[in-house]
Amino acid sequence: MPRQKFIAGNWKMYTTLEQARELARSVAAGVDAETARRLRVAVCPPFPWLLPVGEVLRNTPVALGAQDCHYEREGAFTGQVSPYMLREAGCQYVIIGHSERRHGLQESDEFLNKKLHGALRAGLHVIFCIGELLSEREAGQTESVLLRQLQNGLAGLTAEQAAALTIAYEPVWAIGTGRVATEEQAQQAHAFIRAQIAERFGSTAADSITIQYGGSVKPENAAGLLRQPDVDGCLVGGASLKADSFLAIVRAAL
């Protein structure tokens, strides 16, 4: 059975409250029942807009996700958000390990692994991001970087948990830069990731796991990327902030 495509929008630290509501309304209006039957669609707004956007998305095929979480259920962690709070707010998904947190906020593989386990305990579906810097790609280190991030980041998972995971391959040099990995580069990285999942968790998990591409995805390049056999969807940044461009990527996945 072919894997279902998954298109998720990461709104990052953008939108006003009214812009967020209107964007959610427009995205939901563009995802009909037939589209929802064939693929998954989610949006991940900033924390303050989760509840109002969740209200807009209620009873629609579009799922709600968050951009990060802490690993504990509760505690004295000022400024942090628990995965259980996200569940109560209506989230089905959470992004963990985005490069803007790995490199901008220096979050380690081990710290991200704790977040991953915390999110899974709370019953959230995790979009776990990995990817190499430009200097690492130019030094021929892409696969060794991905291997380290997978080994450390997914430590302690069962095969069943791995099978239900979404991995987002995001070459850091392509995020927000306008550059994009070629279709061949994306496929090569995705095939490597799937092979590592098979080696660590077995062929069933590797066949089931969703591997998205992220990094300057636009309507113009989405179709070519999504045609690759190991590219199961896209984690969309800037292009998810306009409903027409995001929905064009959704249509490309069909």
Q: How far apart are CA 164 and CA 69, in angstroms?
A: 19
Binding site for substrate: what residues are annotated? Answer: 10-12, 176, 216, 237-238
The residues that are catalytic are 98, 170
Contacts of 55 (CB under 8 A, 6+ apart): none
What is the pTM (predicted TM-score) of this model? Answer: 0.97
Indicate the number of domains in the chain: 1
For residue 160, the 8-state DSSP code is: H
- The domain that holds 170 is classified in CATH as 3.20.20.70
Q: How far apart are CA 51 and CA 91, in angstroms?
A: 9
Q: How far apart are CA 104 and CA 79, in angstroms?
A: 17
Which long-range contacts does 137-145 make (Cβ < 8 Å, 24+ apart)? 137/171, 137/173, 142/189, 143/192
Per-residue model confidence as pLDDT tens for the chain (254 residues): 679 999 999 999 999 999 999 999 999 999 999 999 999 999 999 999 999 999 999 999 999 999 999 999 999 999 999 999 999 999 999 999 999 999 999 999 999 999 999 999 999 999 999 999 999 999 999 999 999 999 999 999 999 999 999 999 999 988 878 788 899 999 999 999 999 999 999 999 999 999 999 989 999 999 999 999 999 999 999 999 999 999 999 999 99
Domain that holds residue 80: 5-253
Binding site: what residues are annotated? Answer: 10-12, 176, 216, 237-238
